[in-house]
Amino acid sequence: MNLAPVILGAVLGVVMGYVLAGGEPIVAPIIAVIGAIAILTTKYAQNRKAKKQGMVLYDEMHLALATRSGYTALRASMLTVALIIVITVWPKFFNIGILPPEVAEKLFPGLGLSFAIMAIAYLTAYTYYLKSKKVLEG
């Protein structure tokens, strides 16, 4: 597995946390789009290079592992992501104060961290299912 998209995703999470901690929630989606384009471009270049060399990057086992790992990571981290978004981002847009604004602003780096936790949960689940072969058994 190539680590370039993982590293780009980690850098994206750090930058988004920093921007949100700086009090600019509007800039975060722009950074997310730029980061997603960078990650997709990297993946496209990898696929193109492999296709030129006649290699097969993804087979049915990979797709089954990725599907099961994605579902596991989503279940494991979605509550954390949703809770941090509700606490930090909603007061800025809807004037619904769950916590005092000065406390909520200190939690902005946690938003980027929660997405990093989701990525780590995905990679951990993927490695677990790859080694255990449980995904193929059902």
Report percent pLDDT > 90 for the chain.
Answer: 0
Amino acid making up residue 39: I
131/128 Cα distance (integer angstroms)? 5
Our count of domains for the chain comes to: 1
Q: What is the pLDDT of residues 66-80, one digit of tens each?
A: 888 888 887 777 777
Q: What is the pLDDT of residues 48-63, one digit of tens each?
A: 888 888 887 777 777 7
Q: What is the pLDDT of residues 90-133, one digit of tens each?
A: 666 666 666 676 776 777 777 667 777 777 888 888 888 777 76
* 90: containing domain: 4-137
For residue 132 the two structure tokens come to: 């255990």
